[in-house]
Structure 1
């Protein structure tokens, strides 16, 4: 809600002035990581996109949206990200490579905003505007705006759908992917807030955190089901948790009694929705996120300031009834 080429790892000092003139038409070159990619689109304006990842379906959808924006707007972009979402040093390398190429703007999703503060300051010092996306750059005032999912609103939609499935009464549990990340906190809180305000007869009986470990999440879901034989529903805040909860419900033979609502997408979760084990899920819109982030960066380059500090890239509720809709198909990531 992740084919490769490589950017130039370093340029000689004598070539820097040439790079400043030629960055808009650079098509990428060799490097050291499969997370590097060449340019897309065309035109005289070049924007560098550095994501938190590269190989996963989520980031592939972000990349597709970014590339389509470049084509539609007549500009060039490069899209890079580390192979794993824990490789901050590699992402720093990619930021430095982008800085050397002197893009008109940087579109960036930070793995570690503290570790990347100094290189972002170099973009600011070079008068290169930064547009953040996905989780943004927490704690930094350098990005002019952040394009991301409104996770509280998305989770509230999950709460609304689950409550509807239960007739606005019953016992539910939350399987949360993180107690410390902003996304985990926002999704849990968004779910809780909607239930408290709109479904007083729905009781949240347990919350478990699993750090996106599907095996742990499945153990937690099984334990919840055992502890609460009258449980009516489970809300999972990411794809791993949704699949884990569904598998636990299947194993317990309670697919009719316990409704599972998930978050994100992915092939296993989609298959479980088709089977009817997961009632439905909230998908982010990574394609639109990538598209809007590049478009916003170009607006900034052209002197149009973003209207807001946060720009919602949107989300959808999807289930077996609308899974084949074109807009849903563009948003889900398998």
Structure 2
């Protein structure tokens, strides 16, 4: 019995020792937990990380101006974009530059204007394809205290605080004078216009037509067609005009696409004696003028148009005085001056 008691005592002491050891092991992590918690809590650089968010906050506060053009189909708009981006960089504002694929897509441009307004911009720069269709949206911009700056084309409204554009009536009148001089002030002429809805289309058509009618009684305008600024369509229209009026002496194309279309139509029908006068520039027109295939053209200042539109928008947002009509200028160029420094500065290719 005594040995049995001793055995129980020994087992009991052994079990007690094991329990104590186990308690020591579990207690040990408990002792280290505060230190490990301190380690995992050390991402206390949360306050230190706050300054990193500051540049983002500053960026968000930057003035945002969507620039909505008539399209991208002509090099003219790429030159306008360069000017707009130059102004944005100098004035430290954010811009987007967009436009429909062609200048016939009025509905798509209206969708772009709607989307731009939905982003609550600081201001909007807008070149209207249809000078009336955009008015309701521009009224919405005005109600939201978003300044609107027109460029290239104005709109039939007083809503734009400024419009940066060429004096298209005066420029087309000069084209008419040049045409008259080249055909000895008499004969039949025609006009291929990019559209009859935008302010530029209307003004260039009327500027040319009215100057001929008012100043040159022996010149007759036999046809006015609208090619949407599309080269292929303008080519077909030109060929139809020539076939209907075999004695025609000159044709005026009112923008880059129209002018190239007129040139192509004349070339395809081998009617090289017909005087072709264009508007805008671009590589094809410049090459045609250098070679003498096109008599000359009016060039605008597209980089200046883009630059002045963004500059005016920024001024309007800041509450500074903005000139209502910003005349960006125009120039006549032909093979005698196409390579002069003054003209080269406003051509784009």
- Shorter-chain TM-score bucket reads 0.7 to 0.9
CA shift for structure 1 position 260: 0.5
Q: Which range is displaced more, 158-167 or 311-320?
A: 311-320
CA shift for structure 1 position 187: 1.3
- By percentage of residues, which structure has more helix? 2
Whether 1:67 aligns to 2:89 is no
What per-residue deviation string (whole Å, max 9, x for no partner) do you get for residues 133-168 of structure 1? Answer: 2223x3444321222222211111110111121222
CA shift for structure 1 position 194: 1.2
1:96 match: 118
CA shift for structure 1 position 90: 3.6
CA shift for structure 1 position 127: 3.2
Query: Match for 1:152 among 137, 161, 169?
Result: 169
What per-residue deviation string (whole Å, max 9, x for no partner) do you get for residues 41-90 of structure 1? Answer: xxx86251322245742222112112222344x43231321452532324
Query: Match for 1:108 among 126, 131, 136?
Result: 126
TM-score normalised over the length of structure 2? 0.72
Which secondary structure state, in structure 2, belongs to the residue aligned with residue 232 of structure 1? strand
CA shift for structure 1 position 312: 2.2
1:294 match: 310
Q: Which range is displaced more, 188-197 or 207-216?
A: 207-216
CA shift for structure 1 position 121: 4.8
Computed over aligned residues only, the root mean square deviation of the Cα atoms, in angstroms, reads 3.0
Which secondary structure state, in structure 1, belongs to the residue aligned with residue 310 of structure 2? helix
Query: Match for 2:279 among 258, 263, 288?
Result: 263
CA shift for structure 1 position 313: 2.1
Query: Match for 1:124 among 121, 138, 142?
Result: 142
1:58 match: 76
Whether 1:237 aligns to 2:259 is no
1: distance between equivalents of 2:285 and 2:172? 17
TM-score normalised over the length of structure 1? 0.75
Sort the Cα spacing of 1:95 and 1:271 in 2 relative to 1 into closer, same or farther, 3 A.
Answer: farther
- The structure with the largest alpha-carbon Rg is 2
1: distance between equivalents of 2:266 and 2:313? 45
Which secondary structure state, in structure 1, belongs to the residue aligned with residue 221 of structure 2? strand
Sort the Cα spacing of 1:122 and 1:251 in 2 relative to 1 into closer, same or farther, 3 A.
Answer: closer
Sort the Cα spacing of 1:119 and 1:237 in 2 relative to 1 into closer, same or farther, 3 A.
Answer: closer
CA shift for structure 1 position 186: 1.7
Query: Match for 1:25 among 59, 66, 85?
Result: 59
Q: How does 1:246-261 map to 2 (within 5 A)?
A: 246-255=263-272, 257-261=273-277
2: distance between equivalents of 1:22 and 1:320? 52
- Consecutive unaligned residues in structure 2, runs of 5 or more: 1-54
What per-residue deviation string (whole Å, max 9, x for no partner) do you get for residues 201-224 of structure 1? Answer: 222222222233333322332233
Sort the Cα spacing of 1:119 and 1:248 in 2 relative to 1 into closer, same or farther, 3 A.
Answer: closer
Q: How does 1:1-334 map to 2 (within 5 A)?
A: 25-26=59-60, 46-52=63-69, 53=71, 56-72=74-90, 74-85=91-102, 86=105, 87-88=108-109, 89-97=111-119, 99=120, 102-103=121-122, 105-111=123-129, 120-121=138-139, 123-136=141-154, 138-255=155-272, 257-308=273-324, 310-334=325-349
What per-residue deviation string (whole Å, max 9, x for no partner) do you get for residues 235-292 of structure 1? Answer: 111222222222222233331x211101122222222222211111112221111111
2: distance between equivalents of 1:173 and 1:24? 55
Instruction: Indicate if the aligned counterparts of 2:66 and 2:116 stay in contact, CA closer than 8 A.
Output: no
Which secondary structure state, in structure 2, belongs to the residue aligned with residue 50 of structure 1? strand
Which secondary structure state, in structure 1, belongs to the residue aligned with residue 277 of structure 2? strand
